[in-house]
Structure 1
Protein backbone atom coordinates (compact mmCIF):
# COMPACT_ATOMS: atom_id res chain seq x y z
CA UNK A 1 0.00 0.00 0.00
CA UNK A 2 1.34 3.41 -0.95
CA UNK A 3 -1.45 5.16 0.97
CA UNK A 4 -4.64 4.00 2.66
CA UNK A 5 -6.47 4.21 -0.71
CA UNK A 6 -3.68 3.44 -3.23
CA UNK A 7 -1.62 0.30 -3.87
CA UNK A 8 1.16 -0.63 -6.27
CA UNK A 9 0.51 -4.13 -7.67
CA UNK A 10 2.12 -6.38 -10.28
CA UNK A 11 -0.51 -7.76 -12.66
CA UNK A 12 0.56 -11.01 -14.39
CA UNK A 13 -2.16 -11.91 -16.94
CA UNK A 14 -1.80 -14.90 -19.22
CA UNK A 15 -3.66 -16.90 -21.84
CA UNK A 16 -2.73 -20.01 -23.82
CA UNK A 17 -3.37 -20.16 -27.56
CA UNK A 18 -2.77 -22.75 -30.27
CA UNK A 19 0.03 -21.66 -32.64
CA UNK A 20 -0.30 -22.91 -36.23
CA UNK A 21 2.58 -21.03 -37.90
CA UNK A 22 6.00 -22.33 -38.93
CA UNK A 23 6.84 -25.85 -37.78
CA UNK A 24 4.41 -28.06 -35.91
CA UNK A 25 1.16 -26.94 -34.29
CA UNK A 26 1.75 -26.23 -30.58
CA UNK A 27 0.66 -24.25 -27.51
CA UNK A 28 2.07 -20.81 -26.70
CA UNK A 29 1.32 -18.31 -23.96
CA UNK A 30 0.35 -14.67 -24.43
CA UNK A 31 1.22 -13.12 -21.10
CA UNK A 32 2.16 -9.87 -19.42
CA UNK A 33 4.17 -8.34 -16.60
CA UNK A 34 2.39 -5.08 -15.82
CA UNK A 35 3.13 -2.77 -12.86
CA UNK A 36 -0.22 -1.18 -11.96
CA UNK A 37 -1.80 1.30 -9.57
CA UNK A 38 -4.93 0.24 -7.71
CA UNK A 39 -7.06 3.05 -6.27
CA UNK A 40 -10.14 2.74 -4.03
CA UNK A 41 -12.88 5.09 -5.27
CA UNK A 42 -15.09 4.11 -2.32
CA UNK A 43 -14.63 1.98 0.78
CA UNK A 44 -15.00 -1.35 -1.11
CA UNK A 45 -14.82 -0.39 -4.81
CA UNK A 46 -11.46 -0.08 -6.58
CA UNK A 47 -10.10 0.58 -10.07
CA UNK A 48 -6.73 -0.49 -11.44
CA UNK A 49 -4.62 0.39 -14.48
CA UNK A 50 -1.10 -0.19 -15.69
CA UNK A 51 1.37 -0.30 -18.56
CA UNK A 52 4.02 -2.98 -18.98
CA UNK A 53 5.46 -5.76 -21.08
CA UNK A 54 3.79 -8.45 -23.24
CA UNK A 55 5.48 -11.84 -23.52
CA UNK A 56 4.59 -14.22 -26.32
CA UNK A 57 6.27 -17.36 -24.99
CA UNK A 58 6.37 -21.11 -25.51
CA UNK A 59 4.16 -23.18 -23.22
CA UNK A 60 6.76 -24.85 -20.96
CA UNK A 61 5.13 -28.27 -21.39
CA UNK A 62 5.08 -28.15 -25.21
CA UNK A 63 8.67 -27.34 -26.31
CA UNK A 64 10.19 -30.06 -28.50
CA UNK A 65 13.17 -28.20 -30.02
CA UNK A 66 15.37 -25.15 -29.42
CA UNK A 67 13.62 -23.21 -32.24
CA UNK A 68 10.26 -23.56 -30.45
CA UNK A 69 11.62 -21.93 -27.27
CA UNK A 70 11.81 -18.35 -28.53
CA UNK A 71 10.26 -15.45 -26.59
CA UNK A 72 8.79 -12.34 -28.25
CA UNK A 73 8.16 -9.00 -26.49
CA UNK A 74 6.02 -5.89 -26.87
CA UNK A 75 3.92 -3.31 -24.98
CA UNK A 76 0.95 -4.19 -22.79
CA UNK A 77 -1.85 -2.37 -20.92
CA UNK A 78 -4.39 -3.48 -18.35
CA UNK A 79 -7.54 -1.98 -16.81
CA UNK A 80 -9.73 -3.43 -14.10
CA UNK A 81 -12.24 -2.84 -11.37
CA UNK A 82 -13.33 -4.80 -8.34
CA UNK A 83 -15.70 -4.83 -5.41
CA UNK A 84 -14.77 -6.29 -2.02
CA UNK A 85 -17.57 -8.61 -0.86
CA UNK A 86 -15.96 -9.94 2.34
CA UNK A 87 -13.39 -8.56 4.80
CA UNK A 88 -11.78 -10.03 7.90
CA UNK A 89 -8.93 -7.85 9.15
CA UNK A 90 -6.40 -7.65 6.30
CA UNK A 91 -7.97 -10.56 4.41
CA UNK A 92 -10.37 -9.63 1.57
CA UNK A 93 -12.43 -11.54 -1.01
CA UNK A 94 -13.48 -9.51 -4.05
CA UNK A 95 -15.14 -9.86 -7.45
CA UNK A 96 -13.02 -8.42 -10.28
CA UNK A 97 -13.36 -7.54 -13.93
CA UNK A 98 -10.07 -7.13 -15.82
CA UNK A 99 -8.99 -6.44 -19.36
CA UNK A 100 -5.56 -7.01 -20.90
CA UNK A 101 -4.33 -5.87 -24.32
CA UNK A 102 -0.86 -6.47 -25.70
CA UNK A 103 1.15 -6.78 -28.87
CA UNK A 104 4.32 -8.72 -29.59
CA UNK A 105 6.60 -8.72 -32.62
CA UNK A 106 6.78 -12.29 -33.94
CA UNK A 107 8.44 -13.66 -37.11
CA UNK A 108 5.08 -13.53 -38.96
CA UNK A 109 4.50 -9.85 -38.04
CA UNK A 110 2.72 -8.42 -35.00
CA UNK A 111 0.59 -10.62 -32.75
CA UNK A 112 -2.19 -8.84 -30.85
CA UNK A 113 -4.05 -10.23 -27.87
CA UNK A 114 -7.12 -8.99 -26.00
CA UNK A 115 -8.64 -10.75 -22.99
CA UNK A 116 -11.47 -9.88 -20.60
CA UNK A 117 -11.78 -11.80 -17.33
CA UNK A 118 -14.33 -12.06 -14.53
CA UNK A 119 -12.47 -13.22 -11.43
CA UNK A 120 -12.83 -13.94 -7.73
CA UNK A 121 -9.88 -12.47 -5.83
CA UNK A 122 -8.44 -13.58 -2.51
CA UNK A 123 -6.20 -10.83 -1.13
CA UNK A 124 -4.12 -10.11 1.92
CA UNK A 125 -3.15 -6.48 2.41
CA UNK A 126 -0.13 -5.61 4.49
CA UNK A 127 -0.39 -2.30 6.31
CA UNK A 128 -3.93 -1.48 5.25
Structure 2
Protein backbone atom coordinates (compact mmCIF):
# COMPACT_ATOMS: atom_id res chain seq x y z
CA UNK A 1 0.00 0.00 0.00
CA UNK A 2 2.84 2.37 0.89
CA UNK A 3 4.57 1.76 -2.44
CA UNK A 4 1.33 2.48 -4.32
CA UNK A 5 0.89 5.82 -2.55
CA UNK A 6 4.53 6.76 -3.17
CA UNK A 7 4.20 5.81 -6.86
CA UNK A 8 1.04 7.92 -7.23
CA UNK A 9 2.74 10.90 -5.55
CA UNK A 10 5.81 10.59 -7.77
CA UNK A 11 3.68 10.35 -10.92
CA UNK A 12 1.70 13.40 -9.80
CA UNK A 13 4.86 15.43 -9.21
CA UNK A 14 6.27 14.31 -12.56
CA UNK A 15 3.04 15.35 -14.31
CA UNK A 16 3.23 18.80 -12.70
CA UNK A 17 6.87 19.15 -13.79
CA UNK A 18 6.00 18.21 -17.37
CA UNK A 19 3.18 20.76 -17.51
CA UNK A 20 5.28 23.61 -16.12
CA UNK A 21 8.45 22.69 -18.03
CA UNK A 22 6.91 23.32 -21.44
CA UNK A 23 8.23 26.23 -23.46
CA UNK A 24 6.24 29.43 -23.29
CA UNK A 25 5.50 30.19 -26.94
CA UNK A 26 3.21 32.83 -28.32
CA UNK A 27 -0.38 31.67 -28.78
CA UNK A 28 -1.10 31.27 -32.47
CA UNK A 29 -4.89 31.15 -32.38
CA UNK A 30 -6.16 33.29 -35.24
CA UNK A 31 -8.46 33.14 -38.24
CA UNK A 32 -10.52 30.10 -39.13
CA UNK A 33 -11.31 27.46 -36.45
CA UNK A 34 -12.15 23.79 -37.02
CA UNK A 35 -12.40 21.10 -34.37
CA UNK A 36 -13.85 17.67 -33.76
CA UNK A 37 -14.05 15.49 -30.64
CA UNK A 38 -14.91 11.89 -29.78
CA UNK A 39 -15.71 10.31 -26.47
CA UNK A 40 -18.36 8.77 -24.26
CA UNK A 41 -21.55 10.23 -22.84
CA UNK A 42 -24.18 9.42 -20.26
CA UNK A 43 -27.62 10.62 -21.35
CA UNK A 44 -30.60 10.94 -19.01
CA UNK A 45 -33.79 11.18 -21.08
CA UNK A 46 -37.36 11.79 -19.95
CA UNK A 47 -40.16 10.58 -22.21
CA UNK A 48 -43.88 10.96 -21.35
CA UNK A 49 -44.14 7.31 -20.29
CA UNK A 50 -40.63 6.54 -18.99
CA UNK A 51 -37.18 7.73 -18.02
CA UNK A 52 -33.99 6.14 -19.27
CA UNK A 53 -30.23 6.45 -18.90
CA UNK A 54 -27.81 5.42 -21.65
CA UNK A 55 -24.04 5.27 -22.02
CA UNK A 56 -22.86 5.57 -25.63
CA UNK A 57 -20.76 7.53 -28.11
CA UNK A 58 -20.43 11.33 -27.98
CA UNK A 59 -19.30 13.47 -30.91
CA UNK A 60 -18.61 17.18 -31.39
CA UNK A 61 -17.93 19.38 -34.37
CA UNK A 62 -17.12 23.08 -34.29
CA UNK A 63 -16.38 25.60 -37.00
CA UNK A 64 -15.91 29.33 -36.71
CA UNK A 65 -13.53 32.24 -36.45
CA UNK A 66 -11.14 33.62 -33.83
CA UNK A 67 -12.13 37.18 -32.90
CA UNK A 68 -8.89 37.54 -30.91
CA UNK A 69 -6.38 35.03 -29.44
CA UNK A 70 -8.70 34.27 -26.49
CA UNK A 71 -12.20 34.50 -28.03
CA UNK A 72 -13.84 32.45 -30.81
CA UNK A 73 -17.29 32.71 -32.38
CA UNK A 74 -18.41 29.20 -33.40
CA UNK A 75 -21.19 27.04 -34.75
CA UNK A 76 -21.12 23.81 -32.72
CA UNK A 77 -22.84 20.49 -33.26
CA UNK A 78 -22.96 18.11 -30.29
CA UNK A 79 -24.28 14.57 -30.49
CA UNK A 80 -24.86 11.85 -27.91
CA UNK A 81 -26.14 8.51 -29.23
CA UNK A 82 -28.82 6.65 -27.25
CA UNK A 83 -31.07 3.57 -27.53
CA UNK A 84 -34.61 4.60 -28.51
CA UNK A 85 -37.48 2.20 -27.83
CA UNK A 86 -40.56 4.39 -28.28
CA UNK A 87 -42.54 4.46 -31.54
CA UNK A 88 -41.58 1.82 -34.09
CA UNK A 89 -38.70 -0.58 -33.58
CA UNK A 90 -35.94 -0.22 -30.99
CA UNK A 91 -33.06 1.67 -32.63
CA UNK A 92 -30.21 4.12 -32.11
CA UNK A 93 -30.97 7.85 -32.28
CA UNK A 94 -28.96 10.94 -31.57
CA UNK A 95 -29.62 13.52 -28.91
CA UNK A 96 -27.92 16.75 -29.84
CA UNK A 97 -27.69 20.50 -30.12
CA UNK A 98 -26.72 22.72 -33.06
CA UNK A 99 -25.88 26.12 -31.61
CA UNK A 100 -24.02 29.35 -32.20
CA UNK A 101 -21.44 29.37 -29.41
CA UNK A 102 -18.67 31.41 -27.85
CA UNK A 103 -15.40 29.85 -26.68
CA UNK A 104 -13.16 31.81 -24.31
CA UNK A 105 -9.69 30.87 -23.01
CA UNK A 106 -9.35 31.63 -19.30
CA UNK A 107 -5.63 30.78 -19.47
CA UNK A 108 -3.32 29.67 -22.27
CA UNK A 109 -4.67 26.12 -21.96
CA UNK A 110 -8.02 26.23 -20.12
CA UNK A 111 -11.17 27.29 -21.95
CA UNK A 112 -14.95 27.46 -21.50
CA UNK A 113 -17.65 27.30 -24.18
CA UNK A 114 -21.34 28.09 -24.12
CA UNK A 115 -24.13 28.28 -26.65
CA UNK A 116 -27.87 27.94 -27.18
CA UNK A 117 -29.80 26.94 -30.26
CA UNK A 118 -31.60 24.07 -31.94
CA UNK A 119 -32.03 20.91 -29.89
CA UNK A 120 -32.63 17.75 -31.87
CA UNK A 121 -33.59 14.13 -31.70
CA UNK A 122 -32.53 12.57 -34.98
CA UNK A 123 -32.01 9.23 -36.71
CA UNK A 124 -28.54 7.72 -36.65
CA UNK A 125 -27.60 6.97 -40.25
CA UNK A 126 -25.86 3.66 -39.51
CA UNK A 127 -29.01 2.24 -37.88
CA UNK A 128 -31.66 3.04 -40.53
CA UNK A 129 -33.75 0.05 -41.63
CA UNK A 130 -35.98 0.42 -44.69
CA UNK A 131 -36.31 4.23 -44.51
CA UNK A 132 -38.16 4.36 -47.84
CA UNK A 133 -41.11 2.40 -46.42
CA UNK A 134 -40.96 3.41 -42.76
CA UNK A 135 -41.39 7.11 -42.06
CA UNK A 136 -40.48 6.75 -38.36
CA UNK A 137 -36.97 5.67 -39.38
CA UNK A 138 -36.19 9.06 -40.91
CA UNK A 139 -38.08 11.43 -38.59
CA UNK A 140 -36.25 14.49 -37.27
CA UNK A 141 -37.56 16.32 -34.21
CA UNK A 142 -36.39 19.71 -33.02
CA UNK A 143 -36.78 22.12 -30.13
CA UNK A 144 -34.53 24.11 -27.82
CA UNK A 145 -31.09 23.10 -26.60
CA UNK A 146 -27.96 24.49 -25.00
CA UNK A 147 -24.39 23.41 -24.37
CA UNK A 148 -21.79 24.25 -21.74
CA UNK A 149 -18.30 22.78 -21.83
CA UNK A 150 -14.83 23.31 -20.48
CA UNK A 151 -11.55 21.93 -21.69
CA UNK A 152 -7.81 21.70 -21.24
CA UNK A 153 -5.29 21.77 -24.09
CA UNK A 154 -2.89 18.88 -23.47
CA UNK A 155 -0.79 19.33 -26.63
CA UNK A 156 -0.23 22.33 -28.88
CA UNK A 157 2.02 22.78 -31.90
CA UNK A 158 1.59 26.03 -33.85
CA UNK A 159 -2.07 26.02 -34.92
CA UNK A 160 -2.81 22.35 -34.01
CA UNK A 161 -4.21 21.43 -30.56
CA UNK A 162 -5.29 18.24 -28.79
CA UNK A 163 -7.63 18.86 -25.87
CA UNK A 164 -9.72 17.02 -23.31
CA UNK A 165 -13.16 18.39 -22.51
CA UNK A 166 -16.15 17.87 -20.26
CA UNK A 167 -19.49 18.73 -21.88
CA UNK A 168 -23.03 19.24 -20.59
CA UNK A 169 -25.89 19.32 -23.11
CA UNK A 170 -29.61 19.94 -22.58
CA UNK A 171 -32.41 19.64 -25.10
CA UNK A 172 -36.21 19.69 -25.07
CA UNK A 173 -38.12 18.48 -28.16
CA UNK A 174 -41.53 17.11 -29.11
CA UNK A 175 -41.49 13.52 -30.38
CA UNK A 176 -44.84 12.57 -31.94
CA UNK A 177 -46.46 15.57 -30.16
CA UNK A 178 -45.12 14.57 -26.74
CA UNK A 179 -42.54 16.62 -24.84
CA UNK A 180 -39.26 14.88 -24.19
CA UNK A 181 -36.26 16.37 -22.48
CA UNK A 182 -32.83 15.20 -21.61
CA UNK A 183 -29.38 16.03 -20.39
CA UNK A 184 -26.11 14.51 -21.45
CA UNK A 185 -22.70 14.70 -19.83
CA UNK A 186 -19.68 13.65 -21.83
CA UNK A 187 -15.90 13.39 -21.68
CA UNK A 188 -14.23 13.86 -25.06
CA UNK A 189 -10.80 14.07 -26.68
CA UNK A 190 -10.58 16.58 -29.49
CA UNK A 191 -8.35 17.82 -32.27
CA UNK A 192 -8.52 21.47 -33.28
CA UNK A 193 -6.98 23.74 -35.89
CA UNK A 194 -6.72 27.52 -35.42
**Shorter-chain TM-score tier:** 0.7 to 0.9
State the superposition RMSD in angstroms.
Answer: 1.5
- Name the count of aligned residue pairs: 125
Q: Quick check: which has more Rg, 1 or 2?
A: 2
CA contact (8 A) 2:98 2:118 kept: yes
Higher helix share: 2
TM superposition shift of 1:108? 5.4
Distance 2:85 2:154 in 1: 42
3-state secondary structure, aligned to 1:68? helix
Which of 145, 148, 159 is residue 90 of structure 1 equivalent to? 159
Distance 2:119 2:84 in 1: 17
Unaligned runs of 5+ in 1: none
- The 5 A counterparts of 1:1-128 are 1-60=66-125, 61-64=127-130, 65-107=134-176, 109-125=178-194
CA contact (8 A) 1:81 1:97 kept: yes
Q: Structure 1: which 4+ aligned runs deviate by more than 4 Å? A: none
CA contact (8 A) 1:63 1:69 kept: no
Unaligned runs of 5+ in 2: 1-65
3-state secondary structure, aligned to 1:21? coil
TM value normalised by structure 1: 0.88
TM superposition shift of 1:27? 2.3
